[in-house]
Amino acid sequence: MASKYMLSTLNISISEAATPPICSSCHRLMEPGEHGVEFLCPNCGKAVIRRCKRCRQLGVPYVCPNCGFRGP
């Protein structure tokens, strides 16, 4: 009973904003469940590269925002 009372008196507010992933090639929002990929830059290993399904299939190039590496 004590734990139920303690939980009901806590005022927890979660207001952290979540930003949806954006494709590094076409810069559009990636939908949940889309077969996109996310990986670290193969050159510097510091920036996260995200690619949507369409850009992966078409081989649209991307540019690393950290080191300028270009690749499909």
Q: What is the pLDDT of residue 22?
A: 92
Decide if 12 is inside a domain: no
Q: What is the pLDDT of residue 24?
A: 93
| Distance in Å from the first CA to the final CA of the chain | 58
CA-CA distance, 59 to 24, in Å (whole number)? 12
- 22 contacts 47 by C-beta, under 8 angstroms: no
Both tokens assigned to 37: 């990929």
Decide if 45 is inside a domain: yes
For the chain, the domain total comes to 1
Q: Domain limits at 45?
A: 18-71
Decide if 13 is inside a domain: no
Decide if 31 is inside a domain: yes
CA-CA distance, 3 to 15, in Å (whole number)? 25
Decide if 41 is inside a domain: yes
Q: What is the pLDDT along the chain (72 residues), one digit of tens a residue?
A: 555 555 556 666 676 777 889 999 999 998 888 888 999 999 999 999 999 999 999 999 999 999 999 988
